[in-house]
């Protein structure tokens, strides 16, 4: 009788660990093309529409940075927590809170033409994201609740709060009852870096976050404490690293980054508060963080790829008349394949013979 069993590899190959995202990307691409073919679209054309067309112009590249900025910024923040073993799944909610807080500042100072409006919005948004993340931090450190569940459930609370606000207190008084706020003043919005394309400084903020992440994880003692808490909690305890402090720090950094990304959205491409301010960047950023191996350089590339998938989905919707859920399908495949490839990097499949006949 034959049976298959998985066996842990004694030493997973480091090269394979880094190659895994590339393999996952290739598999996603291959299966994506199969899906397009099954839908009756010519695969090569679909490939062009999905992956080349969106970025074959300067304007397209600008759009790529618009999408990549929140993904990279949030992924960088979440990585701190994932390295510390703190699973903040609610970045989407923290993003929404950031948008609400930053947007409220913009609306309160509507028409005020001063340089400090935007910085104040960024600060308010960051603090809003932190405050939203502080709830799971408090519950985890005080009552030992799961930060996974609490942060995830708070996403829906945040979204409903936003829907309420744009239908109530923050609704545009001259908006004919549409669920949206006023358009922000010029002093409350990002201006493009280059005339003619929409790329704005939020992308530079995201790159800055990656540099900060690199220093934190590789150079700072605090980063060592974070990594130790994630890799070996008992060793961290033995070393005198305070687990509650790591939990708070991780959630505040992740929440702050997501909140900042939220303001950048409402102060950037959106320019007002709407019932829906994010195409689930907060969830996609989790995939970006893991696809990027929780490493700054990896996150940069993973963020750009994920941004391309967003753009490709929009472009395929128009050019190929496929539903917009195609973006979700690609994201899902990417996550599925990275997890599957990682599994095979760490385990191998072995054919085992149950009843043995001597080979002699």
Could you list the residues that contact another protein (CB under 8 A)?
9-11, 219-222, 224, 227-228, 231-232, 234-235, 237-242, 354-358, 360
In angstroms, give the least distance from the CB of 221 to another protein: 4
CA distances from 53 to 115, 131, 308 (A): 37, 40, 10
Contact 127, 66 (CB under 8 A): no
In angstroms, give the least distance from the CB of 57 to another protein: 43
Residue 172, Cβ density class (10 Å: 0-12 exposed, 13-18 middle, ≥19 buried): middle
- Whichever of 73 and 246 has its CB closer to another protein, that residue is 246
- Whichever of 5 and 37 has its CB closer to another protein, that residue is 5
In angstroms, give the least distance from the CB of 355 to another protein: 6
Contact 354, 3 (CB under 8 A): yes
In angstroms, give the least distance from the CB of 295 to another protein: 15
- Whichever of 114 and 220 has its CB closer to another protein, that residue is 220
- Whichever of 10 and 40 has its CB closer to another protein, that residue is 10
Rounded Cα–Cα distance for residues 267 and 115 (Å): 14
- Whichever of 191 and 242 has its CB closer to another protein, that residue is 242
* Residue among 193, 172, 194, 192 at smallest CA distance from 181: 172
Q: Which residues are 351's β-sheet partners?
A: 4
In angstroms, give the least distance from the CB of 344 to another protein: 16
DSSP letters, 45-96, are HHHIIIIIGGGSSHHHHHHHHHHHHHHHHHHHHHHHHHHHT-----HHHHHH
- Whichever of 178 and 343 has its CB closer to another protein, that residue is 343
Contact 246, 172 (CB under 8 A): no
In angstroms, give the least distance from the CB of 240 to another protein: 3
The H or E element containing residue 351 is: strand 347-353
In angstroms, give the least distance from the CB of 357 to another protein: 8
Question: Coil, helix or strand for 9?
Answer: coil
Count of residues making up the chain: 360
- Whichever of 231 and 318 has its CB closer to another protein, that residue is 231
Q: Which residues are 4's β-sheet partners?
A: 351
């Amino acid at each position: 009788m034959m049976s298959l069993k998985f066996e842990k590899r004694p030493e997973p190959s480091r090269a394979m660990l880094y190659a895994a995202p590339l393999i996952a990307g290739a598999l996603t691409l291959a299966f994506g093309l199969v899906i397009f073919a099954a839908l009756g679209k010519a695969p090569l054309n679909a490939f062009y529409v999905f992956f080349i067309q969106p970025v074959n112009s300067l304007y397209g590249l600008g759009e790529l940075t618009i999408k990549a900025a929140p993904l990279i910024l949030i992924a960088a923040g979440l990585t701190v927590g994932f390295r510390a073993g703190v699973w903040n799944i609610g970045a989407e909610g923290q993003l929404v809170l950031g948008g609400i807080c930053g947007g409220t500042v913009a609306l309160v100072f509507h028409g005020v033409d001063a340089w400090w409006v935007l910085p104040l919005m960024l600060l308010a948004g960051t603090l809003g994201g932190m405050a939203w993340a502080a709830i799971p931090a408090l519950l985890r450190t005080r009552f030992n609740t799961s930060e996974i569940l609490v942060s995830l459930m708070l996403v829906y609370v945040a979204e409903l709060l936003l829907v309420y606000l744009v239908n109530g207190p923050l609704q545009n008084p001259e908006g004919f009852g549409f669920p949206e706020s006023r358009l922000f003043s010029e002093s409350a919005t990002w201006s493009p870096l280059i005339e003619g394309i929409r790329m704005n400084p939020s992308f530079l903020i995201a790159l800055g976050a990656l540099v900060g992440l690199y220093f934190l994880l590789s150079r700072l003692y605090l980063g060592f404490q974070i990594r130790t808490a994630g890799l070996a909690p008992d060793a961290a305890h033995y070393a005198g690293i305070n687990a509650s402090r790591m939990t708070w720090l991780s959630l505040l950094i992740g929440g702050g980054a997501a909140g900042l990304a939220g303001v950048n959205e409402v102060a950037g491409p959106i320019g007002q508060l709407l019932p829906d301010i994010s195409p689930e960047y907060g969830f996609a950023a989790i995939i970006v963080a893991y696809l990027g191996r929780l490493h700054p350089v990896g996150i940069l590339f993973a963020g750009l790829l994920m941004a391309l998938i967003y753009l490709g989905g929009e472009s395929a919707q128009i050019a190929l008349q496929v539903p917009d859920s195609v973006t979700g399908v690609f994201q899902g495949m990417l996550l599925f394949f990275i997890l599957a490839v990682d599994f095979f990097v760490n385990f191998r499949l072995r054919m085992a013979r149950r009843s043995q006949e001597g080979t002699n």
